[in-house]
Amino acid sequence: MARNCRETRVLVLTMHDDPAYLRSALAAGASGYLLKRAVDAELLAAIRAVHRGGTYVDPRLADVLVQDLLAKRDTGAGSRRPVSILSDREMQVLRLVARGYTSAQIAKEIFVGVKTVETYRSRFAEKLGLRTRSDVIRFAVQMGLLTPEALESEPGGSAR
């Protein structure tokens, strides 16, 4: 929407303090991102900043963006992205996706619902900039997460 009407500025007011939501909103063209628990003064500051053509990010999430920038600077363009930004569960789901498991199989394997698996998938994909299953597999191979030994340790000796 913001791309079609350049003079429109979007300030997201949300309850979601997950960095993946912040990144998604900014990538979609939002100019600001503020948590609903913000005090009145913060809301006014955010509105004013966005109205002036600036950007506003809730102070509780600003550190996330700084860490992203530092990670990009340290890894450089085209370098391997750090998996340290993933939670343990996101990493577990990433490995299983790379091995060819479906969301239903992953849900059964880690004892959660399919929608929960989909949430983990979207979070790690957003954090790492991966769009397709091929991207996930390529990334897993580059990071040493998908090895012949890992595949042999699965039941049946091959990817599902």
The pLDDT of residue 79 is 45
- Domain membership of residue 137 as a residue range: 83-157
Among 75, 101, 123, the domain-final residue is 75
- Give the helix/strand (H/E) hosting 14: strand 11-14
CATH of the domain at 58: 3.40.50.2300
Among 75, 96, 124, the domain-final residue is 75
Residue 24 lies in a domain: yes
Among 32, 52, 75, the domain-final residue is 75
Task: Give yes or no: residues 52 and 101 share one domain.
Answer: no
Selection from 21-30, 38-47, 150-159 with the highest mean pLDDT: 38-47
Q: Can you tell me the distance from the alpha carbon of 126 to that of 102, in angstroms, rounded to the nearest whole number?
A: 19
Asked whether 55 and 32 are in contact (CB, 8 A), the reply is yes
Residue 2 lies in a domain: no
State if pTM tops 0.85: no
Task: Give yes or no: residues 142 and 91 share one domain.
Answer: yes
Residue 74, pLDDT above cutoff 60: no
Task: Give yes or no: residues 114 and 49 share one domain.
Answer: no
Residue 117, pLDDT above cutoff 90: yes
Task: Give yes or no: residues 59 and 104 share one domain.
Answer: no
The pLDDT of residue 153 is 56
Task: Give yes or no: residues 92 and 153 share one domain.
Answer: yes
Task: Give yes or no: residues 152 and 118 share one domain.
Answer: yes
Asked whether 55 and 31 are in contact (CB, 8 A), the reply is yes
The mean per-residue pLDDT over the stretch 120-129 comes to 90
Task: Give yes or no: residues 16 and 67 share one domain.
Answer: yes
Residue 2, pLDDT above cutoff 70: no
Decide: residue 158, CB within 10 A, 0-12 exposed, 13-18 middle, 19+ buried. Answer: exposed
The domain total for the chain is 2
Residue 13, pLDDT above cutoff 90: yes
Task: Give yes or no: residues 64 and 35 share one domain.
Answer: yes
